[in-house]
């Protein structure tokens, strides 16, 4: 693998001249610059980004730490971050915590040691490690959290209005004649789970329907959890007439449980899920979903980080809130008029 000395030798210049061409730190004679660039191309020389950032004290690499790389939601978010980063001449280091706080902590330390310019994080918990955060702050490396809040007055957040999104989903079910609505909203240790539960509860209260704790479930954002918890709700008596699911994987799991109980959607039970995916619009599913602007979420997270990179003096915390929309399909069609099991307030 060629190094900077090889480039200098082929171009007939000093190593410092090659460095100036690479970093743009000083003017170089145009003819000399062309010779150096030609040698770089001929040798296929690739500068070491870490070493270069040490020399220039300026990195063009952003760390992106997501919580579940298997979830299609995060693949779209990654694309939004990456496209915006590329437009601003930044590259990404991608890390996956797999919803594990210990792994999250390890990757934060890796990003710090790699001297990234900044970091965008989907946190697994509400409080990031204080010692690690202070290291980033001391080096003026900004952090932006996306999709979920953290309790830190110095960390910006780019979010979707999950309370409103869940509210509109449940209000839609109520308006279509569903009144005994079960909810599986994800872990309550992260704000997405809690906010969606709060939206569910608010919609029931505003409709004058008693909020029965027996109809609420929480757990990991995955298919197995959705299937297990939906199975529990489907065995209740009196039966539920609809389900609200807190993310796409929970919805897929609930769908499996519904079919295992030989129920039909929406004939026997209504269904609204959170997150639009490629399978939501398939004819055999025709799933009503709360559609999040996922690509825009990623793009906005990078742009907020970029504002900090351009102006490190920014200190005030900012929370950017994007709106979700309800995409209505066949899984929540109006229910035939039946006796109401839910208790009116």
Query: 191-238: per-residue pLDDT in tens?
Result: 999 999 999 999 999 999 999 999 999 999 999 999 999 999 999 999
Residue 152: per-residue pLDDT: 85
Would the pLDDT of 52 be above 60?
A: no
* Tokens linked to 216: 């609420």
Would the pLDDT of 338 be above 90?
A: no
CA 221 remoteness from chain centre:
13
Residue 20: per-residue pLDDT: 77
Residue 24: per-residue pLDDT: 66
Residue in this structure with the two tokens 């796409």, named with its chain if needed: 248
- Per-residue confidence band for 100, with pLDDT thresholds at 50, 70 and 90: very high
Domains of the chain: 4-47 (1.10.260.40), 60-161+293-324 (3.40.50.2300), 162-292+327-332 (3.40.50.2300)
Would the pLDDT of 243 be above 70?
A: yes
Residue 13: per-residue pLDDT: 85
- Contacts (Cβ under 8 Å, ≥6 apart) of 22: 4, 47, 52
Q: What is the bridge-based pairing of β-strands 91-96 and 270-274?
A: unpaired
Roughly what angle, to the nearest 10 degrees, separates helices 101-113 and 130-138? 20
pLDDT tens digits along 107-157: 999 999 889 999 999 999 988 888 888 899 899 999 999 999 998 888 999
Q: How far apart are CA 64 and CA 116, in angstroms?
A: 10
Contact status, residue 145 vs residue 210, Cβ threshold 8 Å? no
Backbone torsion region of residue 105, taken as left when φ is above 0, otherwise alpha when ψ lies between -120 and 50, otherwise beta: alpha
Q: How far apart are CA 139 and CA 60, in angstroms?
A: 15
Q: How many CA atoms lie within 13 A of 69 on its CB side?
A: 7
Contact status, residue 341 vs residue 180, Cβ threshold 8 Å? yes
pLDDT tens digits along 286-336: 899 999 999 999 999 999 999 999 988 877 788 999 999 999 999 999 987
pLDDT tens digits along 12-48: 888 778 777 776 656 788 888 888 888 888 888 876 6
Q: How far apart are CA 126 and CA 150, in angstroms?
A: 4
What residues does 144 pair with on adjacent strands?
Answer: 120, 156
Handedness of CA 77, 80, 84, 90 (dihedral sign): positive
- Contacts (Cβ under 8 Å, ≥6 apart) of 136: 112, 119, 142, 143
Residue 56: per-residue pLDDT: 47
- Contacts (Cβ under 8 Å, ≥6 apart) of 335: 176, 177, 178, 241, 242, 266, 270
Residue 342: per-residue pLDDT: 52
Residue in this structure with the two tokens 């909020």, named with its chain if needed: 211
Which value, in Å, is the radius of gyration of the alpha carbons in the chain? 25
Residue 49: per-residue pLDDT: 55
Q: How far apart are CA 246 and CA 22, in angstroms?
A: 49
Q: How far apart are CA 246 and CA 287, in angstroms?
A: 14
* Single pTM value for the model: 0.81
Q: What is the bridge-based pairing of β-strands 118-121 and 91-96?
A: unpaired
Contact status, residue 148 vs residue 122, Cβ threshold 8 Å? yes
DSSP assigned state of 188: T
């Amino acid at each position: 693998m060629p190094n900077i000395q090889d480039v200098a030798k082929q171009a007939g210049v000093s190593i410092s001249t090659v460095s100036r061409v690479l970093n743009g730190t000083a003017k170089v004679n145009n003819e000399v610059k062309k010779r150096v660039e030609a040698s770089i191309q001929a040798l296929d020389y690739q500068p070491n980004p870490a070493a270069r950032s040490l020399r220039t004290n300026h990195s063009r690499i952003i760390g992106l730490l997501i919580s579940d790389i298997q979830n299609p939601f995060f693949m779209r978010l990654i694309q939004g971050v990456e496209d915006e980063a590329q437009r601003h001449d930044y590259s990404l280091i991608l890390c996956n915590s797999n919803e594990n706080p210990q792994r999250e902590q390890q990757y934060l330390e890796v990003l710090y040691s790699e001297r990234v310019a900044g970091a965008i994080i989907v946190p697994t918990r509400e409080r990031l490690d204080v010692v690690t955060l202070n290291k980033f702050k001391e080096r003026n490396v900004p952090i932006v959290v996306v999709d979920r809040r953290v309790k830190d007055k110095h960390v910006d957040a780019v979010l979707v209005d999950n309370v409103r999104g869940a509210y509109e989903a449940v209000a839609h079910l109520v308006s279509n004649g569903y009144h005994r609505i079960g909810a599986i909203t994800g872990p309550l240790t992260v704000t997405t789970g809690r906010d969606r539960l709060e939206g569910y509860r608010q919609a029931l209260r505003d409709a004058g329907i008693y909020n029965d704790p027996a109809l609420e479930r929480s757990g990991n954002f995955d298919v197995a959890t959705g299937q297990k918890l939906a199975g529990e709700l489907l065995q209740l008596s009196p039966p539920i007439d609809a389900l609200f699911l807190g993310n796409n994987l929970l919805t897929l799991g609930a769908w499996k449980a519904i079919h295992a109980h030989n129920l039909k959607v929406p004939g026997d039970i209504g269904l609204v899920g959170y997150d639009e995916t490629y399978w939501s619009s398939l004819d055999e599913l025709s799933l009503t979903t709360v559609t999040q602007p996922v690509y825009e979420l990623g793009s906005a997270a990078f742009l907020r980080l970029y504002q900090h990179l351009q102006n490190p003096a920014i200190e005030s915390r900012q929370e950017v809130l994007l709106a979700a929309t309800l995409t209505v399909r066949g899984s929540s069609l109006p229910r035939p008029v039946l006796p109401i099991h839910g208790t009116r307030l």
